[in-house]
Structures are given as structure tokens and as C-alpha cells.
Structure 1
Amino acid sequence: MVFRSKKDRYVNRLIVLSIILIGVSTLFPLFLDGINLTGTVVLMSIFLVTSVFILWVYYGVKYVFYDEYLYVKGGPFRSKIHYKDITQVAPTDDILTGYRILSSRDAIEIFYRTAILGSVKISPQNKDEFIDELIKRCPNIKVKT
């Protein structure tokens, strides 16, 4: 079963603002005198690669239930969370700290034993259905509301 990440205006604005700031900082030197073709290509490449990376991470977020583990993917960032390691699920709106693969402030935090930072924050489109599926696969999980 596959769940896509919910997207909200706050994170959309954050992504657009990030791309604008990267664009201004990398493309501003093009308007100065003395930039040659090589410099132009390098600056344009930096802007395009960085922007594509941000958009890949943002639009590539999904959560997949497999038989033995939950697969959390966002761009190049991936986590396999074995169901036996999951201890707790709780709602959260703190999306600026910790390990997170999400695109909305309406998120949940999954705590598991093998996590480097203790948990991962995700934002499935249908949280209730996602949590119900997680409970089916992890019957001993604590769910905070």
C-alpha cells in the first residue's frame, strides 16, 4: 500500500522562497560586468541542479507498506523501518527539527528503536487510514492523539 505526502501552502511557500533565494544568490553575478561564458554556465548549472534537487525531494515523498517494513522515501533520502522496531506514533506540527520526510505541517512522528534521531516525521495524505494500516502491522504500537 502506497501513501503520498500531503502538501500544504506553508511548505509550498517555503520551497518557492528557497528557490528564489538560491536563484538570486547564484544568478545575481550574471548581471555584473566581466562574467564570461564559463562563469555563466557554472552559475546556471548550480542554480538548476539545486532547484531540481529541492523539487525532487519535495515531490518525490511517499510512504510504502511492505510485508516486513515501512519504506519512507523523499528524493534520495530513504528509510526502511521494520515494524518490530516501531514503538509509538504521535501527531506533530514541528516540521523544522529532527529527521523528516514530509511536505506538510499536518504530520505524524513515528518513533522506532533503530532511528539515529529517535524518530521520523512524515505527512501522509490520509493520516487516519495510514495509522490504521500501521496498527494492523504493529499491534503493540502506542498511538497518541
Structure 2
Amino acid sequence: MNSKFSCKKSRSFGGFLITVSLFITLVAFGLPVILKDTFDLAAFIVSSLFVLITTGLFLWLWFGTYYIIDNEILIAKFGPLTWKVPINEISFIRLNQETIGGTWKLTLSWKCIELKYKKSRSIFISPNNQSVFIDRLVKINPQIEIKQK
């Protein structure tokens, strides 16, 4: 059974990524102009590459964050990063978590769920259809305990 779940995306989180991208662009191109520094071709190329890479990474995160339940493995993709969690090692799922602070948060939403696995490890994710996602995990591992915040 192979199921793909899209990531819940908060508009304010997207706004945050856009704001950071615009700030980086402003700093990369505007600062030399403000400081009346000579802005030669090499500086322009380096600034352009930095802006393109950063914006590309943010776009990759926005469009490339999803979760796959592949047989007995949960695969969490967060842009270029991938986590593989054996579903039989998930001990509990904590609902209604906030994304600020803590450990790895492979989410684009401020609200998420925490999956605790391998005794002391955890990741935070935000599948779009949370109830179906959790049902599929529990179907594979009925030992998973569901906890509220």
C-alpha cells in the first residue's frame, strides 16, 4: 500500500517565505546601491546566484513537501531533505502541536502533529488529510498511541 499525502500549507507561512525572499533580494541588490559601493559584474553574478538559490530552495520546500506511506515506511519529504521512519517504531502521535521551537518540523503550517519514534526521536509533520493519514499509520502499527496536546 503506497499512499501520498500532501502537506497542509498555511498562507501566513507562505507569506513568511515570500517576505524572507524579498528581504534577501533587497539586501543582495539594494545594499551595494545604498552604500554607493561599486557594483561590478562579479558581485552581480554572486548576488544573483545567492538570490536564485535561496528562492529556488524556498520554492522546492513549498512544492516539494509531502509524506508517503510506503508499505511499512513513512517517507517525509521536505524539499531536498528526506526522512524515513519505520512505522512499526512509531510509539505515539501527539495532535495539535505548534511549529515554533523544538526539533525538526517538516511542515509548512503552524499547526502540525508530532510522531515519536525510536524511543527518543520525533518529527513534526502536517498532512493535509490528517485523519486518513493517522488511520493508515495505525492500521500498519496498531500499537501507536494517539495523544492530545
Q: Are 1:91 and 2:102 an aligned pair?
A: no
Q: CA deviation at 1:29?
A: 3.3
Offset at 1:3? Answer: 0.0
Q: How many residue pairs get matched?
A: 143
Q: 1:80 aligns with which of 78, 81, 84?
A: 84
Q: Is the 8 A contact 1:29 1:35 kept in 2?
A: no
Higher strand fraction: Structure 1 or Structure 2?
2
Contact 1:27 1:43 in 2 (8 A): yes
The corresponding residue for 1:135 is: 138
CA distance in 2, matches of 1:101, 1:18: 18
- Please state how far the C-alpha of 1:141 moved relative to its aligned partner: 0.3
Does residue 144 (structure 1) correspond to residue 125 (structure 2)? The answer is no
TM-score (norm 1): 0.91
Give, as a single letter, the amino acid of the residue that structure 1 aligns with 2:53: V
Question: TM-score when scaled to structure 2?
Answer: 0.89
Query: Contact 2:91–2:119 (CA<8 Å) still a contact in 1?
Result: no
Corresponding residue for residue 102 of structure 1: 107
Question: Once superposed, which parts of structure 1, at least 4 consecutive aligned residues long, lie more than 2 Å away?
Answer: 29-33
Alpha-carbon offset, residue 114 of structure 1? 6.5
RMSD: 1.5
Q: Is the 8 A contact 1:27 1:47 kept in 2?
A: no
Instruction: State the alpha-carbon separation in 2 of the partners of residues 77 and 99 from structure 1.
Output: 11
Letter in 2 for 1:108: I
Aligned equivalent of 2:19: 17
Per the alignment, residue 27 of structure 1 pairs with 29
Unmatched tracts of structure 1, length 5 or more: none
